[in-house]
Amino acid sequence: MSFGPVIDELIDSLRVLPGVGHKSAQRMAMHLLERNRVGAQRLAAALQTASVEVGHCERCRNLTEEALCRICRDVQRDPASLCIVESPSDVIAIEQARYFKGSYFVLGGSLSPLDGRGPEQIGIPAFIERMRGGEVTEVILATNPTVEGEATAHYIAELLSGKDILLTRLAHGIPLGGELGFVDGGTLSHAFSGRKPLENL
Ligand code: ZN
């Protein structure tokens, strides 16, 4: 059924959220309108502000409200150890595990030519630029253990072959086909400490 254009638009808008279908969107809209108008205003304002003010870190491409993200501004972090992830939520997951003290590079996806995602789309030019700086001595490939994530890890390993850089891949504990963002901190710490050098690609 239709309530009217304003409510219909609200329900439709809520469907931009991942995993939210028409039924859940309807439930959320009813909840906001019936029980929490203050929350609805707050949500609207937060979405408006964040969608305008949040950008990408110039150095690592993580989400940030400033030119450089907090991690890149932190002088305690080791710039020689660079962890490559697919998304900002992977950075959050790794940070929550509190094991890794290096820096990051956020690709913004994985290679998937069929979906139109090539090296340009996942920030490879910026990554090459970062490597040119010469301070990185270890690259940890922490892309997701999916087909695309593996292909991306191999592509980057190819790029770095012949260079004097220790290349490692997160090993055991990460479920195959899974995403880093859904792995608990203990498992992630374990995967970091058990990271394996990549050879003979
Ligand atoms: Zn950064």
C-alpha to C-alpha distance for 172 and 113, rounded to whole angstroms: 28
Question: Tokens in use for 161?
Answer: 């072959």
Whole-prediction pTM value? 0.80
Ligand 1 centroid–CA 42 distance in Å is 28
C-alpha to C-alpha distance for 22 and 151, rounded to whole angstroms: 34
Ligand 1 centroid–CA 189 distance in Å is 21
pLDDT of residue 185 exceeding 60, the answer is yes
Tell me the DSSP string of 1-30: ----HHHHHHHHHHTTSTT--HHHHHHHHH
Q: What does the pLDDT look like over 55-74, one tens digit per residue?
A: 999 999 999 999 999 999 99
Q: What does the pLDDT look like over 106-154, one tens digit per residue?
A: 999 999 988 899 999 999 999 999 999 899 999 999 998 888 998 999 9
C-alpha to C-alpha distance for 43 and 46, rounded to whole angstroms: 5
Ligand 1 centroid–CA 43 distance in Å is 26
Ligand 1 centroid–CA 104 distance in Å is 7
